[in-house]
Chain A
Amino acid sequence: MKKTILMVMMVYTSVNFAQKIKGSDTVLPLSQKEAETYMKSNKTAKITVTGGGSGVGLAALVDNTTDIAMSSRKIKMDEKIKLQDAGRPYKETIIAFDALSVIVNNSNKVSQLTREQLEGIFTGKIKNWKEVGGDDMPMVVYSRESSSGTFEFFKEHVMNKKNYAASVLSMPATGAIVQSVSQTKGAIGYIGLAYTDKSVKDLKVSYDAGKTYIEPTMETAKNKTYPIVRPLYYYYSTAVEKAVKPFVDYVLSAEGQKIVEQVGYVPLSK
């Protein structure tokens, strides 16, 4: 039964020269919204968007089962090699940015940290808030589960590729981190900028050893002064460039970038 449905769908989609977009769950809501509005203005276009994770999307690009792979991280060396082996040159386009903000409990005195301090906190070297200028209370460190792309990004760009301490509490969802940080005095965690609210406090972050501290806002993320920002990518093979280009151009257009901001990500600066 499933097979027949699948086959019917495949026949259907290939008849309409539909585009398939697959990959990162972070980019998924954005792509869905973009595809929806794009299809409204272009009645002939058919775009299907599915999630699964950045790795899944790029693997599908290698197998040629998707036209565009969405990714919340840069393509990895071994994925490049696989695409190379499959004889499929590709193009990379940054479609938006996602800022991560470091949050603490509202009652916490500390309002800023350097990257080195963050690394110390998440690798378990710094264990008490008094070491970074706060009250004498133990730190409670929250992270996302290791299956999330946010986990990898934070490890690579904030923690200098070192491993998380074993004592770090890992939460299954962003909402759970916000909830826990809001009710735990010594808590610290990280979430996407779109998810912060008044129940938690955003920290200013310094990437130049304490000279300047930048607050995470849509403005600082847009003008690139806020450091913990990751690009979100589309990858597509040059063979189908003609077919996918109109949609990619739409996403990059002013209209498309307005949707980026609506969904809660940071639009590309002009």
Chain B
Amino acid sequence: MLSSSITSLTVLLIVVFLFKEGIGLFNQKPVEPGYVIAINKNNKVKELSSVQLKNIYDQKITHWSEVGGTHDSIVLFQLEDISNYYSDEQIGDNMQNLGTCLSRLVDSLPNIIAFFPDKYLDKKFQGTLLEVDKVSLADFFAGKEWIPSAKPSAQLGVLPLILGTLWVSLGAILLALPLGLAAAVYMSEIANERVRRIMKPLIELLAGIPSVVYGFFGLVIIVPLIQKTFDLPVGETGLAGSIVLGIMALPTIITISEDAMRNTPRAMKEASLALGASRWQTIYKVIIPYSISGISAGAILGIGRAIGETMAVLMVTGNAAVIPHTILAPVRTIPATIAAELGETSNGGLHYKALFALGCILFLITLFINLTVEFISNRQKHNKN
């Protein structure tokens, strides 16, 4: 009683913390706090989207006409470039004149777009500050680009990450479930005691291998194999991740379903055989229906491991944040993204919150899967009665 309430409380606390940090994302602007983006006061453009800003600084948009302005080419400016325009003496030893220099610069170049800290914003600043909208739900969930380190405006589209996670997990479960079920049936019903006694510890040993070892195995063995078999330019693909995760999910699925099958009462099995059913008929008419809740539990835990697995996936899927059109292309998953990027983020910053929001999404996906499987197994029990 006590321990279960403590457990539920802990889970609740984690979930509250996760969502509190994650939802904070939508109160932030994609531009780094403390920075402003300014243009010349005669520029017709008054607003730029986050994507447009990024394309301007990547020089994919080079003329103001492409964002609704004049036909002049855009002059990019970041604070480091100040030395190209003013000497150190003009800026001053303690940068006391930097604000005036920036103001004069933005005023003198009609086609400039400048990105600099707002503390150097002169009181009489001669230019227009661009308004940037907060991160919206639509940007976040439907955005197709995940470049959180982009300057001046971070690109936080999680669609490629969500799809990548789902692709890899789906592939893993499609590989692991039939294989795992077959192995479980074999071990519980067909194999004799001696084979079982050797096989079971071997399979359980699979669960004890550290995931980074699986990742390394995948990178050195499975990745080149996939590349050769399918004649691909690159072997780090979603399929490599699926295979590695499938192998990792196998022991969970096998052990749990096998235990469930062995729990089928002897009387039921013998009754079925006595009625003239063959061994195979007994397996799929009696044993599997009887142990379905155990099998689905094994499947849930297997999927859970696949979706949440980090290290092995980080090493074999290539981690390119593009929307995958086939399982034979590199993908980036949510857990790999969190693991690879959380270390560099500043605590409480935009990128940090975006990663927490990713954690929320991951949590919701697993919750959804759990509820679905629960629903299915409940309905089957209901039908039986």
Contact = CB atoms under 8 A, between A and B. Distances in A.
Interface of A: 53, 55, 77-78, 81, 84, 123, 137-140, 145-147, 161-164, 166-172, 176, 179-180, 183-187
Interface in B141-200: 145-150, 160
A186 B54 CA distance: 29
Given A139-B233, A166-B160, A172-B314, 5 more contacts: A123-B58, A138-B233, A183-B227, A184-B234, A186-B233
Contacts of A183: 223-224, 227, 235
Nearest to A180: B236
Contacts, number: 87
B89 interface: no
Contact of B343 (A77, A147, A179, A185): A147
A168 B219 contact: no
Contacts of A55: 344
B341 A147 contact: yes
A169 B234 contact: yes
A136 to B, nearest CB: 11
A81 B227 CA distance: 50
Interface residues of B, number: 41
Given A147-B340, A166-B322, A180-B219, A84 B95 contact: yes
B79 interface: yes
B322 A167 contact: yes
Contacts of B236: 169, 180
Contact of A172 (B145, B149, B315): B315
A166 B321 contact: yes
19 contacts: A55-B344, A78-B34, A140-B234, A146-B148, A147-B344, A161-B57, A162-B57, A162-B58, A163-B54, A163-B57, A166-B322, A167-B322, A168-B320, A169-B234, A169-B236, A169-B318, A180-B219, A180-B223, A185-B233
A163 B314 contact: no
Contacts of B58: 123, 162-163
A77 B79 contact: yes
Interface in B302-316: 314-315
A176 B223 CA distance: 12
**For the complex of A and B, 8 pairs with smallest distance between CB atoms:** A147-B344, A169-B318, A140-B234, A138-B233, A145-B340, A170-B319, A162-B58, A183-B224
Contacts of B344: 53, 55, 146-147
Contacts of A147: 340-341, 343-344
A88 B14 CA distance: 40
Given A183-B227, A184-B234, A163 B150 contact: yes
Given A84-B95, A170-B320, A176-B315, A163 B234 contact: no
